[in-house]
Structure 1
Amino acid sequence: MDAIPQTQDLPRPGGFPSVRYKRNLPQRGPSGLVIFTVIGAISAFGFYRIGQGNLEKRELHREKLWSRIHLIPLLTAELDRDTYRRNQAALEREAEIMKDVPGWKVGESVYNTKRYVGPTQIVVPEQS
């Protein structure tokens, strides 16, 4: 067999034209620095608003606590009046129920002690 002579593929005389490999993309949108600045400004404004909201919430909480503190005497007096009214009604019911029992003293403690025993309040709904 005859060997085929190998020849190298060479450029044409004068060479090939240069290949343009530079990317030519149009700039789209704002730069990274502008985006970062805008996000930072929005975040700073958000933190400012959160701080203002926290101050407002703290002030409302303080006002609520002081209003409760100032209402305590009024609520205590109202509770005392209600307790007295209920106690008097209970004594009247006791007197009505135990009127036929000889020697029964209305309002006397049923406990054999000198210690104070608070009144027991039992709410019995009326039967209809």
Structure 2
Amino acid sequence: MSTPYRQDMPPAGGFEAIKYKRNLPFRGPGGVVILAGVTAISAFGFYRMGKGNLEQRELQREKVWSRLHLVPLLVAEGDRDAYRREQAAVARESEIMKDVKDWEAGKSVYNDSRYRPSNTIVVL
């Protein structure tokens, strides 16, 4: 009835090694590759920004020069408009004051020969 005692022993050749090291799969590029990519993208962005700044500076210079060259034309147009308005005002004044004796239309109200342009308000 009694069976002889039998101790549990390791298998022949021993147990296999315990895997205690991390066995993680490769998940994307390393830090150096990411840093190189970010540096390359930033360098390209700064390059494009510099080119854009040069273009904006050139456009600003062109705008300033075009305005400088348009100033004589705009001044001449303003002078023509002022002359036309002054002549129309003199015509209106002579029409209104035609019945007043010794009235000179367009004569200055000042008693000197210095030129004073009429004060007009230009509303844009």
Most deviating of 108-117 and 92-101: 108-117
Structure 2: give runs of 5+ residues left out of the alignment: 1-8, 11-15
Match of 1:106 in 2: 105
Aligned to 2:65: 66
Name the CA distance, whole Å, in 1 between partners of 2:119 and 2:72: 24
Mapped to 2, the partners of 1:26 and 1:103 lie a distance apart of: 110
Secondary structure of 1:50's aligned partner: helix
Q: CA deviation at 1:121?
A: 2.9
Q: Determine whether 1:118 maps to 2:117.
A: yes
Aligned twin of 1:24:
23
Report the Cα offset of residue 36 of structure 1.
0.6
TM-score by length of 2: 0.77
Structure 1 stretches (4+) deviating beyond 6 angstroms?
Answer: none
TM-score scaled by structure 1? 0.75
Instruction: State how far apart, in whole Å, the 2-side matches of 1:81 and 1:31 are.
Output: 74
**Relative contact order, higher structure (CA 8 A, sep 6+):** 2
Residues 48-57 or 23-32, more deviating:
23-32
The answer as to 2:59 corresponding to 1:55 is no
What RMSD over aligned residues (CA atoms) do the two structures have, in Å?
Answer: 2.5
Q: Deviations over 1:85-109 (max 9, x none)?
A: 1100100000000111112111112
- One-letter code of the match for 1:64? K
Percent identity between the two aligned chains: 63
Segments of structure 1 that go 5 or more residues without pairing to the other structure are 1-12, 124-128
Residue 84 (structure 2) aligns with? 85
2:4 alignment counterpart: none
Once the two structures are TM-superposed, the CA of residue 115 in structure 1 deviates from its matched residue by: 5.0
Deviation per residue, 1:31-61 (Å, 9 max, x gap): 1110110110000000000000000000000
